[in-house]
Amino acid sequence: MPNNEMLDQEVDRRELRRKRRVKNQVIAYIVLMIFLAGLIVGGIFGVNKIMSILKDKKQAEELQKQLEELSDPEEEPPVVEAPEESAEPEGDKDYLGEIVESSIAEMPLADKVAGLFIITPESLTDMDVVTRAGDTTREKLDEYRVGGLIYFSQNILDADQLTEMLKNTRSWSRYSIFLGVDEEGGSVSRVAGNGLADGVGNMAEIGASGDTAAAREAGASIGSYLSGYGFNVDFAPVADVISEGNTTIGDRSFGSDPNVVAPMASAMVEGIQSTGVSACMKHFPGLGDTTADTHDGMASTEKTLEEFTATDFPVYQAGIAAGVDMIMVSHLSAPNVTGDNTPASVSEKMITEILRGQLGYQGVVITDSMSMTAITDYYTSDQAAVMALQAGADMILMPEDFESAYNGVMEAVNNGTLTEERINESLRRIFRVKKKNTLSE
């Protein structure tokens, strides 16, 4: 082939390559403009779409190369840091639980067991009548660090005496202590009955009025003057739905209709606890249809679980919904519920299965006075105390013989009949009530 022809062909090839290069560049720029527009309106989807329509692999490679050249090599892609693993949200953190656990952790077993009892100042000091908290009270509180004391009319003389007695008792207790009283209104009013406050009338009258605001106001009034003297527990309201012929409860109840008693009792709970005083509904599962008095021997009912559920439990459910701090379990025998004559206060069926399980109550369960003959005629003080704790109660109220009951529970823990964790379980409920105002102080 002549040299001139070869030269011309080489020129043509170069020109062809040049045109192809220009064509590729033009195509690349066009595609790039489309790509940039695609980024604005469609993001990365545009790139994939453009790349899919390029038939020539070299064109795609050229386009990719030019895109890389257009990007800023010094600009680093933004770094998105993973969020730090944070603790539990502040709103969900159980600060009260931490305070409670801290309080329990420092307690020796002897103090833990003593903390399950609420007794009279006479039982604590072994004196006939206590009207002041002096050296004997201080010494005994150091020996038996009880969970609480309950006061009656005999302990109350005047406003200054009552205030000083409770103040000293509280200051000499190593741990937070319950200072309680029966202040129901009406005939059962230890403080107002001694002339230290204006009475609020009986609950039957308030129930008959149909005015729940009056029940709430009565509770707030009682709670206010109790708090002023230094009490922090009121063993009220009465939650019993009475039947015709009931004389053991009488006008202490709001009435015979659970649809009336439930809102009345829960309103009174709200009123009492609005003042910082803990309310204690009583007498679970309900003493409304019995004519016997557990102070004087066994009291029983033929009610079935279904009947209790229809008439008595709605009142407790309303109180639980209102946040009642305590529920007192009576010594009522309900064989059609439990299967025998075991008093409710020492019945696992009644406390753990029904009150805790069926009704869902997680607050403090306290027995009625264990000095009543419904208990003392059948059990020793130590037997009754251990049985109540085994049944699910948290606190033992007024055992006939405190030292015997206390030693009985200690022995039960030491021999494995009760575990220390079981004691701790009750203390957690108790201290959640005792410490609940700590967070707002």
Question: Which pLDDT score is estimated for 322?
Answer: 98
- Cα–Cα distance between 317 and 311 in angstroms, integer? 11
Which of 295, 325, 340, 394 is the catalytic position? 295
Let me know whether 353 and 395 are in one domain. Answer: yes
**Phi-psi category of residue 217: left, alpha or beta, with phi > 0 → left and psi -120 to 50 → alpha:** alpha
Q: Which two tokens stand for residue 235?
A: 């063993």
Which residues on adjacent β-strands are paired with residue 280?
Answer: 326
Phi, psi of 385, rounded to the nearest 5 degrees = -65, -45
Burial of 15 (0-12, 13-18, 19+ CB in 10 A): exposed
Q: Which of 182, 251, 368, 382 is catalytic?
A: 368
Instruction: For residue 75, tell me if it sits in a domain.
Output: no
CA atoms within 13 A of residue 401's CA, in its CB half-sphere: 13
Q: Are residues 34 and 163 in the same domain?
A: no
- Identify the pLDDT of residue 54: 41
Residue linked to tokens 């002041």: 132
Residue 122 burial (C-beta neighbours within 10 Å; 0-12, 13-18, 19+): middle
pLDDT, position 392 = 98
Report the CATH number at residue 312. Answer: 3.20.20.300
The strand pair at 364-367 and 188-189 is best described as: unpaired
Number of structural domains found in the chain: 2
In a domain, 86, yes or no: no
Question: Are residues 277 and 235 located together in one domain of the fold?
Answer: yes
Query: Does residue 77 belong to any structural domain of this protein?
Result: no
How far is 235 from 183, CA to CA, in rounded Å? 7
- Of 132, 148, 235, 147, nearest in space to 191 by CA: 235
The answer as to whether 85 is a domain residue is no
425 and 355 share one domain:
yes
Contact 332, 344 (CB under 8 A): yes
Point out which residues pair with 366 in neighbouring strands.
328, 395
**Dihedral sign (CA 371, 374, 379, 384):** negative
64, 124: one domain: no
- Residue 36 sits at the vertex; the CA angle it makes with 31 and 40, to the nearest 5 degrees, is 140
- In terms of domains, do 129 and 40 share one? no
Residue 165 lies in a domain: yes
Among 21, 54, 70, which residue terminates a domain?
70
Residue 295 among the catalytic residues? yes
CA distance 319 to 270: 9
Residue 355, pLDDT score: 98
In a domain, 309, yes or no: yes
The continuous run of DSSP H or E covering 413 comes out as helix 402-414
Overall pTM > 0.85? no
pLDDT of residue 22: 54
The per-residue pLDDT for 246 is 83
**HSE value, Cβ hemisphere, 13 Å, CA-based, for 201:** 12
Q: How far is CA 28 from CA 38, 61, 62, in A?
A: 15, 10, 7
Q: Are residues 56 and 158 in the same domain?
A: no
pLDDT in tens, the chain (441 residues): 444 444 444 545 555 566 566 566 656 556 556 555 555 544 444 444 444 444 444 454 554 555 455 444 444 433 334 334 334 445 567 899 999 999 999 899 999 999 999 999 999 999 999 999 999 999 999 999 999 999 999 999 999 999 999 999 999 999 999 999 999 999 999 999 999 999 999 999 999 999 999 999 999 999 999 999 999 999 999 999 999 878 889 999 999 999 999 999 999 999 999 999 999 999 999 999 987 767 767 899 999 999 999 999 999 999 999 999 999 999 999 999 999 999 999 999 999 999 999 999 999 999 999 999 999 999 999 999 999 999 999 999 999 999 999 999 999 999 999 999 999 999 999 999 999 976 654
Would strands 178-181 and 233-234 be described as parallel, antiparallel, or unpaired?
Answer: parallel
Same domain, 131 and 34: no
Q: Give me the sign of the Cα torsion angle 64, 66, 68, 70.
A: negative
> Does residue 222 sit within a domain?
yes
Kindly state whether residues 107 and 62 are assigned to the same domain. no
Q: Which two tokens stand for residue 241?
A: 């739905």
Statement to judge: residues 185 and 253 lie in one domain? yes
Reduced to 3 states (helix: H, G, I; strand: E, B; else coil), residue 262 is helix
Catalytic site includes residue 293: no
Is residue 41 in some structural domain? Answer: yes
**Same-domain status, 205 and 148:** yes
Q: Are 101 and 65 within one domain?
A: no
DSSP state of 134: -
Q: Which domain holds residue 51?
A: 3-70
